[in-house]
Amino acid sequence: MGKPTGFLEYERALPADVTPEERIANWNEFHTHLPEEALRKQGARCMDCGIPFCHTGLMLAGAASGCPINNLVPEWNDLVFRGLWSQALERLLRTNNFPEFTGRVCPAPCEGACTVGWNGIPPVTIKGIECEIIDRAFEQGTMRFAPPAVRTGKKVAVVGSGPSGLACAAQLNAAGHTVTVFERADRVGGLLMYGIPNMKLDKTIVVQRRIDLMTAEGITFVTGAEIGGNVPAAKLLEEFDAAVLCTGATKPRDLGIPGRGLAGVHFAMEFLTANTRSLLDSAHEDGNYISAKGKDVVVIGGGDTGTDCVGTSIRHGCKSVVQFEIMPEPAQCRLPNNPWPEWPRVLKTDYGQEEAITRYGADPRTYCINSTSFVDDGTGAVQAIETVKVEWVREGARMTPKPIPGSEQTYSAQLVLLAMGFLGPEQGLLDQLDVARDARSNVQAAYGAFATSVPGLFSAGDARRGQSLVVWAINEGRGAAREVDRFLMGDTRLP
């Protein structure tokens, strides 16, 4: 490393976000940039650790430790420190097709496994440097389209244009195959387009820019094409030499309590998708979205999707917003049973909570709370939620939430958003293709092989592994492309 003592000399630094007061007034990305000299110092903090854990992608205690796509983090950190931005870009693109996505929305398991952080020192700003490398490349014109020199004559269909489908398509195209990506929505991008709000991931500047580049490289995108719906499922293997299912895990977990059918209770993705589509179509002028304006909003679910619902509701102008989490509040720092380099299970305050604190004066999150019923306002719409606090009690090998007598409470709510995760892929297409599934209803295809029970049909991403991170989706899309190439050509040179 160029600066082995950099982590001792420089403090971790992040660019200052646009203030919550300013950013809740619009839908623009709110992350800013560090100047080059500051970025080079951050690169210098990447210590000469000998055995880096940041790029391992190991599964420890049920979570990723280090980068699942094995980004060459120490290499491009050192190159940024030296001011060698084009070489840093080359190293970054060796393992990651879309660093502009992961640099914005990945929770950065690489930083959780950073060796600098093993004894409490703040880790290297890996995610921020990653994003700066690719953004500079686009801004300076060094990120150019690179179509394959030779075509193999083989045709591959990819179903779904989320991160796994896009990564798979990009790799197969680079191998020279003719790739068609089918997307049932009206825009390409899947989760990246409609599942993540614009203020976290800009659709025109960031997502569409990448789609345009992939189109220039020879990939065909077909929107409004639901395989198994308006496009026969048989088309996949009748007209293509191979196909890859990258449909995601889009079946939401429901909350089957009294009053579930009341108006005003929605799945989070209904809310987020309609909001982004209306924003892109008409800047919300068409009114084709679920508005939180003037309403008491309750978000049930404490993950990233729940946070996105909080931030979106605030931008609509909601009257109030609270966020329920049935799990206990995380610790402020690592506990003994959560040692480095495991993913740190500690309390984090994300952008949505920051904005709620600024707007309403309090953190919106309530922990160890369970919803018991939705209350009808007399017209068939929700007006409140009845809840009870819980304590977690060990029963054998499992911890179970038990209601606390006397802790019942009613919360006013004219809009309820269910953000409790996903149960797996939708089953209709899989039924039509007669694809074998695992015990969790995911497509049955071994990791590393990605082949389904149907010859010539592969699967990757959340459809195969269940709900997971964007970076795992990219990992799987790349892996599936490698195995499809091997299936078609007898061997593969894809990384």
- Give the ranges where 148-254 is alpha helix by DSSP (H): 163-174, 209-216, 235-238
Say what the pLDDT of residue 418 is: 98
Shared domain for 175 and 52, answered yes or no, is no
Does residue 148 sit within a domain? Answer: no
Q: Which region holds residue 451: left if phi is over 0, alpha if psi is between -120 and 50, else beta?
A: beta
* Average pLDDT of adjacent 10-residue blocks, the chain of 495 residues: 86 94 97 94 92 93 95 96 97 97 96 90 95 96 92 98 98 98 98 97 96 98 97 95 98 97 98 98 98 98 96 98 97 93 95 97 98 98 98 92 97 98 96 96 98 98 96 98 98 96
Residues 6 or more apart in contact with residue 326 via CB below 8 angstroms: 368, 369, 370, 390, 401
- Reading the block at residue 357, the tokens are 């604190």
Shared domain for 260 and 392, answered yes or no, is yes
Q: Which domain holds residue 215?
A: 155-251+423-489
Q: Which residue(s) pair with 63 in the sheet?
A: 60
Shared domain for 415 and 430, answered yes or no, is no
Shared domain for 185 and 213, answered yes or no, is yes
Shared domain for 127 and 202, answered yes or no, is no
Does residue 360 sit within a domain? Answer: yes
Confirm if 92 and 99 have CB atoms less than 8 A apart: yes
Q: Which residue(s) pair with 157 in the sheet?
A: 180, 243
Q: Which long-range contacts (CB under 8 A, 24 or more apart) does 311-314 make?
A: 311/24, 311/197, 311/199, 311/351, 311/352, 311/355, 312/197, 312/271, 312/272, 312/275, 313/415, 313/417, 314/24, 314/352, 314/355, 314/356, 314/359
Does residue 473 sit within a domain? Answer: yes
Give dist(CA 338, CA 408) in Å, integer.
Answer: 33
Phi, psi of 432 (to 5 degrees): -65, -35
Task: Specify the DSSP element, H or E, that contains 41.
Answer: helix 36-44
Read out DSSP for 76-127?
A: HHHHHHTT-HHHHHHHHHHH-S-HHHHHHH---HHHHT-GGGGGTPPPP-HH
Say what the pLDDT of residue 4 is: 86
Say what the pLDDT of residue 204 is: 93
Confirm if 124 and 77 have CB atoms less than 8 A apart: yes
Shared domain for 311 and 439, answered yes or no, is no
Does residue 494 sit within a domain? Answer: no
For residue 115, the domain's CATH number is 1.10.1060.10
Shared domain for 51 and 95, answered yes or no, is yes
Looking up tokens 């990447």 gives 46
Does residue 427 sit within a domain? Answer: yes
Task: Specify the DSSP element, H or E, that contains 464.
Answer: helix 462-465
Residues 6 or more apart in contact with residue 260 via CB below 8 angstroms: 254, 374
Give dist(CA 60, CA 429) in Å, integer.
Answer: 33
pTM of the model: 0.96
Q: In this structure, are strands 382-395 and 369-376 parallel, antiparallel, or unpaired? A: antiparallel
Does residue 415 sit within a domain? Answer: yes
Which of 110, 140, 170 delimits the end of a domain?
A: 140
Does residue 150 sit within a domain? Answer: no
Does residue 145 sit within a domain? Answer: no
Residues 6 or more apart in contact with residue 89 via CB below 8 angstroms: 133, 134, 137, 142, 143
For residue 367, the domain's CATH number is 3.50.50.60
**Domain total in the chain:** 3
Q: Which residue(s) pair with 298 in the sheet?
A: 322, 416
Residues 328/414/297/203 CA torsion (nearest 10 deg): 120
Shared domain for 410 and 463, answered yes or no, is no
Shared domain for 459 and 405, answered yes or no, is no
Shared domain for 172 and 116, answered yes or no, is no
Say what the pLDDT of residue 134 is: 97
Shared domain for 129 and 247, answered yes or no, is no
Which of 389, 420, 451 delimits the end of a domain?
A: 420
Shared domain for 12 and 92, answered yes or no, is yes
Give dist(CA 392, CA 328) in Å, integer.
Answer: 8
Which of 140, 170, 186 delimits the end of a domain?
A: 140
